[in-house]
Amino acid sequence: MKRKICIVLTVRGNYAKMKSIMREIKNHSNCELQLVVGGAVILHKFGNPVNIIEADGFEISEMVHFLVEGGKPITMAKSTGLAVVELSTVFENLRPDIVMAIADRFEALAVAVAASYMNIPVAHLEGGELSGSIDESIRHAITKLSHIHFVATQKSKERVIKMGEDPQNVYVVGSPTIDLIRDLNLDLDFDVFEKYGGVGAFISVTKNNYIVVSQHPVTTEYEQAGEQIQETLHAINDINMPTLWLWPNMDAGTDEISKGIRKFREKYQPSHIHFFKNFAFEDYAKLINNAAVLVGNTSSGIRESAYLGVPVVNIGTRQNYRERGENVIDVGYNKDEIKEAIKKQIAHGKYSSNHLYGDGHAGEKIAEILSTCKISVQKRLMY
């Protein structure tokens, strides 16, 4: 009998992380893929990522609504509680053999809590990493609720084992997003404005002549999110270079960032910035690969950009302490610091490819392990 693997997608970035895994599970002779979508993945304001998922040929098993609007810590807490309630019903209906929890977001904690209380083994992707904000606490909590650990680096494996997890259940597989770009034609072979619309000025986008910005709120600094985004906006405005800007995710502080962007657009009407809700990951990879520099605090500036050699200006604390390549310059929330770092990275140009986060074969490794691994829902400390 095939082993039923349930994957829950709740934010646009998770699909990029899980796509190669989903594909390998779907095609594996001993596995059956159960796909659950909810949260930002099914909302128009985040670009309806569910449409991309379905267009790629994946069948959706269940759709859940649990996201409480507001972009505050209280709405994150309430969304987590509601997600536990909704996902418990989903797991009762689907009866999966293993549930996968992804990384460090509040929805992933809900996945792990619901599955654990229902005696369903949990496989966790990207445990053992260090970063800023509340995400690190959530990630480590998920690790302690999980039974199988798929980590990106050797250092992450060591940290998970030090947390008392069974070394036999910790696997270094790399980052599955690298799988999607390993054999991808990275040329700019599409019209970003025609394909994704967006709002703002229509600008010239050619190799190395533009900037990509992706900056999200830091949940432990959400009250400063509006001020923080202003520093980036003014830095980009002063640089006066064609810029593709992605909308923030749904964490606490998202409303402040969104409001700050809208006010800036209305006041300054920048002629060199265009704003987008969402990109398919493969198109996003092409855009950052051909950009002069990637600016913001997205994890893609740490993971995929290392593999691609993309120059990155990482702002603030959201990616604190993550392992990173030489392609990253870290700066604070200061307009002048950001500007100087952007200029330095543009002058430097492309870096050498770094395989810190894997070689592009994570999906197949994970699917094979999930199909054969021996697991028990009963855990104990191993030290």
Residue 161 lies in a domain: yes
175-to-9, 43, 131, 141, 372 alpha-carbon distances in Å: 17, 26, 16, 20, 21
Instruction: Say whether both 221 and 327 belong to one domain.
Output: yes
* Structure token digits, residue 92: 């009762």
Q: Do both 149 and 14 map to the same domain?
A: yes
Q: How far apart are CA 116 and CA 33, in angstroms?
A: 19
Q: How far is CA 80 from the centre of its chain?
A: 18
List pLDDT tens digits, range 33-82.
999 999 989 998 888 889 999 999 999 999 999 999 888 889 999 999 99
Q: Give the integer Cα–Cα distance in Å for 47 and 35.
A: 19
Beta bridge partners of 38: 64
Mean pLDDT is lowest, of 38-47, 278-287, 364-373, for 38-47
Of the candidates 104, 109, 100, 127, the residue with the CA atom closest to the CA atom of residue 370: 100
Statement: residue 375 has pLDDT above 90: no
Shortest CA distance to 291 belongs to which of 213, 203, 187, 209?
A: 209
The residues, any chain, with a CB within 8 Å of residue 86's CB and separated by 6 or more, are: 38, 64, 65, 66
Count of residues for the chain?
383
Task: Give me the chain's average pLDDT, please.
Answer: 95
Nearest CA-CA partner of 368 in 148, 117, 67, 64: 148
Q: List the 98-102 sheet strands across, edge first.
A: 62-64, 31-38, 3-9, 98-102, 122-125, 148-151, 170-172
% of the chain surpassing 70 pLDDT = 100
The predicted pLDDT at position 369 comes to 98
Instruction: Report the alpha-carbon distance of residue 121 to residue 146 in Å, rounded.
Output: 7
Domain count, the chain: 2
The model's pTM is 0.87
Q: Nearest Cα to 280, choosing from 36, 54, 26, 102?
A: 54
Whether 203 and 167 share a structural domain: no
Question: In sequence order, which ranges of 118-205 are alpha helices (DSSP H)?
Answer: 135-145, 154-162, 177-182, 192-196
Predicted local confidence at residue 93, as pLDDT: 98
Residue 378 belongs to some domain of the structure: no
Q: Report yes or no on 272 lying in a domain.
A: yes
Query: Same structural domain for residues 48 and 171?
Result: yes
In a domain, 140, yes or no: yes
Please check whether residues 308 and 330 belong to one and the same domain: yes
Q: Are strands 3-9 and 31-38 parallel, antiparallel or unpaired?
A: parallel
pLDDT class of 211 with cuts at 50, 70, 90: very high
**47 and 164 within one domain:** yes
Task: Categorize the per-residue pLDDT at 176 as very low, low, confident or very high, splitting at 50, 70 and 90.
Answer: very high
Nearest to residue 315, comparing CAs of 279, 277, 345? 345
| Structural domain includes residue 33 | yes
Number of Cβ within 10 Å of residue 363's Cβ equals 23
> On the CB side of 256, how many CA atoms lie within 13 Å of its CA?
21
**Which residue do the tokens 């929890």 mark?**
101
pLDDT at 193: 96
Residue 377 within any structural domain of the chain: no
| Average pLDDT of the residues in 355-370 | 95
Percentage with pLDDT > 90 across the chain: 87
Residue 322 lies in a domain: yes
- Pair 49, 85 in one domain: yes
Where b means 16+ CB within 10 Å and e means fewer, 75-105 reads bbeebbebbbebbbebbeebebbbbbbbbbb
Q: Is the pLDDT of residue 217 over 80?
A: yes
In a domain, 379, yes or no: no
Instruction: Judge if 9 and 107 occupy the same domain.
Output: yes
For residues 217 and 125, membership in a common domain is answered with: no
Same domain, 9 and 83: yes
One domain, residues 145 and 252: no
**Whose CA is closest to 278, among 38, 3, 91, 50?**
50
Residues 64 and 135 in one domain: yes
Q: What is the CATH number of the domain that holds 276?
A: 3.40.50.2000
CA distance linking residue 329 with residue 311, whole number of Å: 8
d(CA 383, CA 374): 20
pLDDT confidence band for 352 (50 / 70 / 90):
very high
Q: Which domain holds residue 172?
A: 3-176+360-372
Question: Residue 381: pLDDT band by 50, 70, 90 thresholds?
Answer: very high
